[in-house]
């Protein structure tokens, strides 16, 4: 089948196999334009023209893990570690609410200082203060923890599968393994969370075949959200000499995911650096409908360095949000003022 027919058929509901997905991941320019346009139409049809803005509070950079790619892994002694107190996190979420955020993502390294009860307290306090969705992103914990936080009112959970290649996964995560990651993902879905997974593009040893498996795994996990971003080498990690993942390849992975899964929230991930680029071709023209920005105090931002990134100007949480809203409107998109819950919970589409 030629690539245009294949794209048309997937847009209309055909479920491609791994090889067909791989062929789309390998499209060159200008053929990829056809893929991006189809992804764009699919976004408009299933998500509408609105972009959801999520505020993320990176509340601790302590981590028990040894992820080979990550700058805050526990073997990096050069990191100045910080933890926000539960009440500080709750106040931070209240500020975000006041600035217009209706989703707060609470992310950290895997830091067991935050016990089940501490996170319960944080979730319950934030939920009682207003109608704001909470996404937890605190890594691998046990079933009882996940269940308790869901009962406390946490709405969503983000834990990426990172790569669907089991051998590569186990090599990159010496402290854990692929099966445990999948177990967490499936458990969270079963409990009732809106589930977020995702993966990195351009990891050393990854191929187009792996990316096809990554996308099929998103489908199989029935995710509500998927963060797909390029791998960025961090100078204080074992992968420091490796090449950065390609933006073009990442955009193709986002586009194919949109085309295949349709009702899924796809962020323009921070690693893509959309905000710092004038490039007209970005994740918002290849399937993305969500963006996350940091809302914690500036003194913590630089310290949560999972990969190197430039430091933005220091502005108030309101000014930063306005800037982002202007950016989104500059792309011809609108800004959503609702929580942006899972698209799977909605029957209708935007046709």
d(CA 166, CA 179): 8
Q: Which of 306, 317, 328, 343 binds ligand SAH (CB under 6 A)?
A: 306
Q: Which of 152, 162, 165, 214 binds ligand SAH (CB under 6 A)?
A: 162
Other beta carbons within 10 angstroms of residue 111's beta carbon come to 17
Counting contacts by CB under 6 A, is residue 137 touching ligand SAH?
yes
Query: CB-wise, 223 or 271, nearer to ligand SAH?
Result: 271
Q: Which stretch binds ligand SAH (CB under 6 A): 96-104, 116-124, 158-166, 187-195?
A: 158-166
Q: Which stretch binds ligand SAH (CB under 6 A): 90-98, 154-162, 249-257, 323-331?
A: 154-162
Query: CB-wise, 270 or 285, nearer to ligand SAH?
Result: 270
**Alpha-carbon dihedral sign for residues 189, 191, 192, 194:** negative
d(CA 113, CA 111): 5
Asked if residue 234 lies in contact with residue 240, where contact means CB atoms within 8 angstroms, the answer is yes
Least distance from C-beta 38 to ligand SAH, angstroms?
A: 26
Taking Cα atoms as reference points, which of 285, 295, 292 lies closest to residue 330?
A: 285
Note the residue count of the chain: 351
Query: CB-wise, 109 or 287, nearer to ligand SAH?
Result: 109
Asked if residue 246 lies in contact with residue 269, where contact means CB atoms within 8 angstroms, the answer is no
Asked if residue 11 lies in contact with residue 42, where contact means CB atoms within 8 angstroms, the answer is yes
Place of tokens 């946490």: 154
Site string for ligand SAH, 42-81 (x = CB under 6 A): ---------------------------xx-----------
Query: CB-wise, 52 or 160, nearer to ligand SAH?
Result: 160
309-348: contacts with ligand SAH (CB under 6 A): none
Q: Which of 200, 217, 218, 249 binds ligand SAH (CB under 6 A)?
A: 200
Distance of CA 128 to the CA centre of its chain: 26
Asked if residue 340 lies in contact with residue 104, where contact means CB atoms within 8 angstroms, the answer is no
**What values do phi and psi take at 173, rounded to 5?**
-125, 75
d(CA 214, CA 146): 24
Least distance from C-beta 33 to ligand SAH, angstroms?
A: 26
Other beta carbons within 10 angstroms of residue 124's beta carbon come to 16
What lies within 8 Å, CB to CB, of 133 at 6+ separation is 102, 103, 104, 155, 156, 339, 340, 341
Q: Which of 159, 172, 216, 251 binds ligand SAH (CB under 6 A)?
A: 159
With CB under 6 A, what is the number of residues at the site for ligand SAH? 18
90-119: contacts with ligand SAH (CB under 6 A): 107, 109-110
Query: CB-wise, 38 or 57, nearer to ligand SAH?
Result: 57
Q: Which stretch binds ligand SAH (CB under 6 A): 40-48, 112-120, 156-164, 165-173?
A: 156-164
Task: Give the angle 134-139-144 at the CA atoms, nearest 5°.
Answer: 80
Residue 96 in tokens: 């975000």
211-270: contacts with ligand SAH (CB under 6 A): 229, 231-232, 234
Query: CB-wise, 45 or 242, nearer to ligand SAH?
Result: 242
Q: Which of 226, 288, 307, 336 binds ligand SAH (CB under 6 A)?
A: 307
Least distance from C-beta 178 to ligand SAH, angstroms?
A: 13
d(CA 129, CA 152): 13
Q: By the criterion CB under 6 A, which residues form the site for ligand SAH? A: 69-70, 107, 109-110, 137, 139, 159-160, 162, 200, 229, 231-232, 234, 271, 306-307
């Amino acid at each position: 089948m030629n690539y245009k027919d294949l794209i048309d058929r997937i847009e209309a509901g055909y479920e491609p196999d791994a090889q067909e997905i791989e062929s789309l991941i390998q499209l060159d320019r200008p053929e990829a334009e056809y893929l991006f346009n189809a992804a764009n139409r699919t976004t408009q049809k299933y998500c509408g023209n609105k972009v959801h803005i999520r505020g993320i509070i990176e509340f601790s950079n302590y981590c028990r893990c040894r992820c080979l790619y990550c700058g805050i892994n526990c073997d990096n002694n050069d990191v100045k570690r910080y933890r926000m107190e539960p009440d500080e996190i709750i106040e931070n979420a209240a500020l975000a609410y006041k600035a217009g955020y209706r989703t707060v993502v609470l992310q950290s390294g895997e830091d067991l200082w935050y016990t089940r009860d501490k996170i319960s307290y944080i979730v319950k306090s934030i939920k009682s203060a207003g109608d704001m969705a909470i996404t937890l992103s605190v890594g691998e914990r046990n079933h009882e923890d996940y269940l308790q936080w869901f009962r406390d009112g946490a709405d969503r959970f983000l834990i990426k599968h990172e790569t669907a290649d089991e051998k590569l996964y186990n090599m990159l995560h010496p402290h854990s393994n692929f099966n445990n990651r999948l177990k967490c993902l499936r458990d969270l879905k079963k409990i009732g969370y809106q589930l977020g997974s995702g993966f990195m593009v351009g990891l050393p040893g990854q191929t187009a075949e792996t990316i096809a498996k990554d996308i099929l795994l998103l489908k199989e996990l029935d995710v509500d959200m998927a963060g797909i971003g390029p791998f960025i080498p961090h100078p204080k990690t074992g992968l420091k000499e490796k090449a950065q993942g390609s933006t073009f390849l990442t955009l193709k992975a986002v586009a194919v995911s949109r085309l295949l899964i349709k009702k899924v929230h796809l962020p323009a991930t921070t690693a893509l650096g959309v905000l710092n680029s004038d490039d007209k071709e970005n994740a918002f023209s290849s399937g993305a409908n969500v963006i996350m920005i940091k809302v914690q105090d500036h003194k913590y931002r630089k310290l949560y360095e999972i990969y190197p990134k430039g430091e933005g100007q220091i502005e108030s949480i309101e000014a930063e949000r306005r800037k982002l809203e202007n950016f989104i409107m500059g792309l011809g998109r609108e800004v959503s003022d609702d929580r942006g819950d899972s698209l799977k919970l909605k029957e209708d589409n935007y046709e």
